[in-house]
């Protein structure tokens, strides 16, 4: 019997962004420090007692990484790595389980990039144990989502960012007096990336390259917007009332991120991308609820790759009364909206009294009430259309509510949980995973099995040198139960089909 073997590989590279010529003020750094290489391969310093962990999620402002290194003298530097790595230096992490896919000159650079981010903290632990002293360096940080968090809009006297409201933050001026007061949400995100985030990154590069030890280069890249939300515009009355906060908070607030859309940073080979798209949820029949320019990528996992699978169903997310407010959008007031809806729309559009998977007679009265910060596009239209803004707004809110209902009315039959599988460098948050049970990766049939699909909002990649490489997936909207209840038993009942599995060590 042939047993497949793998030799997972990893590459961790530090790219110096901080070119330090002084320690503080006029205190000069040593010539030794000034000679630090602008790029340091950290891979040789990884050790078996310290994992490399990459955590990314579509639900978090920024992905994170953690690297544990052996505290050895850096080659040619006569210094510990602890003295060479600084906050806001750049880290690039690449991993692969089957490196034969990436063979060739410099195959480590051909492996998929799993993290491109900034160092946040450098720690050094020195411990005296039974076998002698142990010294380790722990480097943690975040991907480019960190930029969306450290940039803040504040309205304070002489506040540096606030002084740039008419330069960096041109969209505030546009929304106040511009010719296009109602901006499509994707265009708004693209403008923030172009006019706010990338100028900040350009200033960061300029500051880094001014140093006499930087060699005139910076590893910091611009962010590219991948915005594909097609419905909804943002009202000027909303953004002008923004009380201040991080760029991430502003984008998620006015981008309707959560109930209808999602926003996250995705590391691609050429650059970090800020992805803004509709939630890629499917109904129990497998049909996408919202229209998408591009469906999320799907990765097939066979049961022989699975070490842990833990899923469950519950009624915690069951809702049967749905309401969407739009208080910040012009022409729409919530009290007026409630009266209009009650007079013109059937009660079944917001109260699911007869839907089995969320029946109030089974699960009790469960209300879900959320706010949208967007509305319909009515400016620039014919007079009659413009004056019907209230009716248009009601239609938009009704559509928003219909999506909310479709996303949540069947929560009781979807599975959620997590799975730990053999390292898969092709798994990224925002993908779907198809779990095939009963057939192995080379297609050897073991019966019909049970095939289920999950949405994967979060992925944790963990590489432990000389031990292994695993991938842990957060799972949502799993269809395993839906598949089971459609099986009629017969020759391949679901329970027996599940037992025809190879397991992770097959």
How far is it, in rounded angstroms, from Cα 85 to Cα 459?
A: 26
pLDDT of 236-284, one tens digit each?
A: 556 666 677 888 998 999 899 999 999 999 999 999 999 999 999 999 9
Taking the CA atoms of the chain, what radius of gyration do you get in angstroms? 26
Please spell the DSSP secondary structure of 50-113, one letter per residue: --EEEEEETTSSS-EEEEEEE--BPTTTSSBGGGT--TT-EEEEEEES-GGGG-STTHHHHSPE
pTM value surpassing 0.85: yes
Task: Measure the CA–CA gap between 171 and 190, rounded to whole angstroms.
Answer: 11
Q: CA–CA separation, 443 vs 453, rounded Å?
A: 18
pLDDT of residue 43: 93
DSSP code, position 375? E
Nearest-10 crossing angle of helices 170-177, 185-192: 140
Q: Residue 429, class by beta-carbon neighbours within 10 Å (0-12 exposed, 13-18 middle, 19+ buried)?
A: buried
Q: What is d(CA 151, CA 106) in angstroms, rounded to the nearest whole number?
A: 36
d(CA 284, CA 282): 7
- Calpha distance 349→326 (Å, rounded): 17
What pLDDT does residue 315 have?
93
3-state secondary structure of 181: coil
Q: How far, in Å, are 30, 213, 226, 286 from residue 40 at the CA level?
A: 19, 15, 31, 47
Neighbours of 98 (CB within 10 A): 15
Mean pLDDT, 10 residues at a time, the chain of 506 residues: 73 86 60 66 89 96 95 79 90 91 73 95 90 89 95 60 42 42 83 89 82 67 96 71 81 93 96 97 95 93 91 94 77 58 70 93 94 75 50 79 95 97 96 84 54 96 92 97 80 69 47
Selection from 408, 332, 410, 344 nearest residue 373 by Cα? 332
Q: Which 3 state secondary structure label does DSSP give 441?
A: coil
Angle at 468 between CA 467 and CA 473, to 5 degrees: 140
One DSSP character per residue, 406-430 reads: HHHTTGGGSEEEEEEEE--TT--TT
pLDDT reported for residue 164: 42
The tokens for 462 are 């963990």
pLDDT at 301: 93
As beta bridge partners, residue 66 has 53, 140
State CA 252 to chain mean position distance: 12
Smallest CA-to-CA distance from 111 within 101, 123, 121 is with: 101
Q: What would the 3-class secondary structure string for 40-62 be?
A: EECHHHECCCCCEEEEEECCCCC
> Which position has the token pair 């998620």?
252
Adjacent-strand bridge partners of 420: 308, 472
Question: How far is it, in rounded angstroms, from Cα 276 to Cα 223?
Answer: 13
Tell me how far apart the alpha carbons of residues 391 and 65 are, in angstroms, rounded to a whole number.
48
pLDDT tens-digit readout, 355-369? 999 999 999 999 999
């Amino acid at each position: 019997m042939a047993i497949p073997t793998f030799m997972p590989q990893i590459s961790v590279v530090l790219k110096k962004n901080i070119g330090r010529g002084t320690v503080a003020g006029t205190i000069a750094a040593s010539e030794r420090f000034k000679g630090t290489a602008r790029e340091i391969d950290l891979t040789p310093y990884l050790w078996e007692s310290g994992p490399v962990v990459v955590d990314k999620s579509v639900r978090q402002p920024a992905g994170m990484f953690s690297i544990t290194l052996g505290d050895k003298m850096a080659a040619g530097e006569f210094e510990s790595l602890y003295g060479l790595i600084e906050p806001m230096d750049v880290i690039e992490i690449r991993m692969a389980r089957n490196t034969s896919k990436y063979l060739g000159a410099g195959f480590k650079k051909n492996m998929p990039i799993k993290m491109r981010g900034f160092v946040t903290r450098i720690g050094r632990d020195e411990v005296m144990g039974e076998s002698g002293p142990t010294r380790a360096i722990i480097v943690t940080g975040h991907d480019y989502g960190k930029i969306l968090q450290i940039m803040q809009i504040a309205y304070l006297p002489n506040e540096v960012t606030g002084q740039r409201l008419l330069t960096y933050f041109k969209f505030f001026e546009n929304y106040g007096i511009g010719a296009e007061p109602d901006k499509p949400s994707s265009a708004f995100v693209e403008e923030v990336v172009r006019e706010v985030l990338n100028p900040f990154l350009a200033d960061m590069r300029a500051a880094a390259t001014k140093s006499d030890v930087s060699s005139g280069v910076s590893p910091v890249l611009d962010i590219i917007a991948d915005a594909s939300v097609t419905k909804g515009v943002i009202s000027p009355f909303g953004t002008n009332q923004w009380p201040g906060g991080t760029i991430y908070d502003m984008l998620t607030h006015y981008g309707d991120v959560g109930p209808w859309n999602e926003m996250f940073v995705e590391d691609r080979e050429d650059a970090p991308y800020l992805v803004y798209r509709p939630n890629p949820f499917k109904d129990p029949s497998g049909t996408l609820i919202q229209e998408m320019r591009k469906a999320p990528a799907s990765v097939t996992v066979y049961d022989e790759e699975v070490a842990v699978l833990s899923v469950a169903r519950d009624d915690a997310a069951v809702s049967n009364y749905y309401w969407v407010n739009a208080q910040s959008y012009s022409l729409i007031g919530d009290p007026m909206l409630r009266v209009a809806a009650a007079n013109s729309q059937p009660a079944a559009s917001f109260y699911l009294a007869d839907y089995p998977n969320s029946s109030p007679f089974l699960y009790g009265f469960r209300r879900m009430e959320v706010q949208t910060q967007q509305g319909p596009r009515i400016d620039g239209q014919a007079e009659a259309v413009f004056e019907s803004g209230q009716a248009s707004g009601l239609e938009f809110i009704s559509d928003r509510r219909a999506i909310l209902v479709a996303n949540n009315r069947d929560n009781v039959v979807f599975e959620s949980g997590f799975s730990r599988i053999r390292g898969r460098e092709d798994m990224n948050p925002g993908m779907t995973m198809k779990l095939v049970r009963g057939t192995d990766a080379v297609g050897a049939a073991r019966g019909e099995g049970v095939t289920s699909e999950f949405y994967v909002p979060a992925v944790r990649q963990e590489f432990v040198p000389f031990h292994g490489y695993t991938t842990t997936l957060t799972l949502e909207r799993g269809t395993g139960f839906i598949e089971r209840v459609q099986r009629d038993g017969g020759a391949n009942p679901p329970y027996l089909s599940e037992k025809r599995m190879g397991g992770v060590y097959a």
